[in-house]
């Protein structure tokens, strides 16, 4: 790259970093407030909140990168126009396409970042986030178990624990199950433990008794004493029996293949798998198209000490239109697996429109003809007579 290209690229990257930091901070704070209430309200520690916040950052950065690249490009070009730097370069013979070369390099940098995020970092972080969410959902001691008071983790369930030791042992436990209309079951035990099973958490009770009271016409009560008894807690506390693979956790090559095994693991159709896989590449291409589109729109205007606000408004409308195309094309691609090429409609439309605007900006402009008063050297008809 020439010195001029490196200079413009440094301006774009600096402003891109600033806008990315601001947008990520704003978006993350909004997400963190709800996440904080959810985790702290469930009895989790601050370290768990920090861990979950860090795991959500890659997806947040993926969402804001194209917007920050577009905003940084608009701000930089508007400032360079006001300071006449780009005007001087145009006067020296630089065409609009030549001036767009550092913008293209900048878009390639954003494209590389987006590809790394969407195809590697985001799937890894989402997989880890889902795994940790499943672990926390099974941590009944933190979510539902509190000593010294009656709790109702589900409809028809009453739970009381006299004491919870530092080792997680539940001393003197009482559990009443009134969900059945024909029978009421009560479990009591001197001690109990929460263990993790393959299909969910289990309650292992030691030295206790089960009371079954029939609610039909005979009204019978049966007692069963036990040395140890295991109770599945998945239905009681609403913990799901295992989880399926999310589309965001799957690798991009697997999504593009859309194999039957992946369809069974995710429960998604081939159209959904292909849309997600190609959508990751399309979102990275949006990071390339967005700054080029903004730059091309601003090149339609000339020097103005008041700024290029009209061209900036046009650029914003164009980027909104490109996003609307992206949303509509993704919706159509979800209907049929054969329509996956529509996912690339928005970025290629943005690139094509950028080339058209740069060509239009490079056309020679004719000055308007003077229609004012005649100059001193011009003689009016009949003046010599």
The per-residue pLDDT of the chain, averaged, comes to: 82
CA distance 23 to 181: 54
More confident residue, 119 or 141: 119
**Which residues are bridge partners to 129 per DSSP?**
none
User: By percentage, how much of the chain surpasses pLDDT 70?
Assistant: 84
Q: Which helix (H) or strand (E) holds 183?
A: strand 183-196
What are the tens digits of pLDDT across the range 50-60?
A: 888 888 889 88
Helices 3-41 and 101-116: crossing angle in degrees, nearest 10, is 30
15-24, 104-113, 211-220: segment of lowest average pLDDT = 211-220
Judged by phi (left if over 0) then psi (alpha if -120 to 50, else beta), residue 305 lies in alpha
pLDDT, residue 379, reads 44
Average pLDDT over residues 96-108: 91
Say yes or no to pLDDT of 376 above 50: no
Helix ranges (DSSP H) in the chain: 3-41, 46-82, 85-91, 96-99, 101-116, 122-137, 140-143, 234-237, 252-257, 260-266, 270-298, 309-333, 345-361
188-197, 232-241, 358-367: segment of lowest average pLDDT = 232-241
Say yes or no to pLDDT of 198 above 60: yes
Q: Where are the domains of the chain?
A: 3-137+248-361, 144-237
Q: Which pTM value belongs to this model? A: 0.71
pLDDT, residue 247, reads 83
CA distance 297 to 377: 42
CA distance 377 to 209: 118
Return the closest-CA partner of residue 295 out of 2, 13, 71, 18: 71
Say yes or no to pLDDT of 98 above 80: yes
CA 175 to chain centre: 41
Say yes or no to pLDDT of 264 above 70: yes
34-38, 114-118, 210-214, 347-351: segment of lowest average pLDDT = 34-38
Say yes or no to pLDDT of 140 above 80: no
pLDDT, residue 236, reads 65
Return the closest-CA partner of residue 277 out of 164, 154, 147, 115: 115
What are the tens digits of pLDDT across the range 149-160?
A: 888 777 888 888
Confidence band, pLDDT 50/70/90 cuts, at residue 267: confident
pLDDT, residue 32, reads 77
What are the tens digits of pLDDT across the range 206-247?
A: 999 999 888 776 778 888 899 988 887 766 655 554 556 788
User: By percentage, how much of the chain surpasses pLDDT 90?
Assistant: 33
């Amino acid at each position: 790259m020439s010195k001029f290209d490196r200079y413009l690229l440094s301006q774009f990257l600096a402003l891109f970093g600033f806008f990315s930091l601001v947008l990520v901070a704003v978006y993350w704070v909004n997400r963190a407030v709800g996440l904080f209430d959810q985790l702290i309200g469930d009895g989790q520690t601050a370290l768990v909140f920090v861990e979950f916040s860090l795991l959500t950052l890659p997806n947040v950065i993926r969402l804001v990168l194209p917007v920050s690249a577009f905003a940084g490009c608009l701000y930089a070009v508007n400032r360079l126009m006001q300071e006449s730097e780009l005007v001087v370069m145009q006067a020296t013979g630089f065409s609009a396409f030549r001036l767009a070369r550092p913008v293209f390099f900048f878009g390639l940098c954003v494209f590389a970042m987006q590809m790394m995020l969407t195809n590697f970092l985001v799937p890894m972080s989402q997989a880890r986030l889902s795994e940790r969410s499943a672990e926390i959902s099974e941590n009944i001691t933190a979510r539902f178990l509190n000593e010294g008071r009656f709790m109702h983790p589900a409809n028809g369930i009453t739970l009381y624990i006299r004491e919870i030791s530092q080792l997680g042992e539940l001393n003197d436990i009482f559990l009443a199950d009134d969900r059945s209309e024909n029978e009421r079951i009560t479990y009591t035990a001197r001690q109990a433990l929460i263990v993790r099973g393959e299909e969910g958490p289990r309650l292992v009770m030691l030295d206790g008794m089960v009371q079954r009271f029939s609610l039909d016409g005979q009204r019978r009560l049966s007692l069963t004493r036990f040395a140890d008894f295991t109770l599945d807690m998945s239905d009681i506390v609403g913990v799901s029996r295992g989880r399926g693979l999310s589309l965001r956790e799957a690798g991009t090559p697997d999504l593009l293949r859309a194999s039957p095994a992946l369809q069974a693991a995710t429960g998604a159709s081939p159209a959904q798998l292909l849309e997600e896989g190609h959508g990751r590449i399309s979102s990275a291409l949006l990071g390339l198209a967005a700054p080029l589109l903004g730059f091309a729109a601003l090149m339609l205007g000339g020097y103005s000490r008041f700024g290029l606000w009209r061209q900036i408004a046009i650029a914003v409308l164009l980027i909104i239109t490109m996003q609307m195309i992206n949303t509509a094309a993704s919706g159509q691609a979800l209907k049929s697996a054969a329509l996956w090429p529509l996912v690339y409609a928005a970025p290629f439309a943005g690139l094509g429109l950028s080339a058209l605007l740069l060509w239009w900006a490079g056309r020679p402009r004719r000055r308007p003809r003077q229609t004012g008063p005649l100059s001193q050297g011009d003689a009016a008809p009949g003046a010599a007579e």
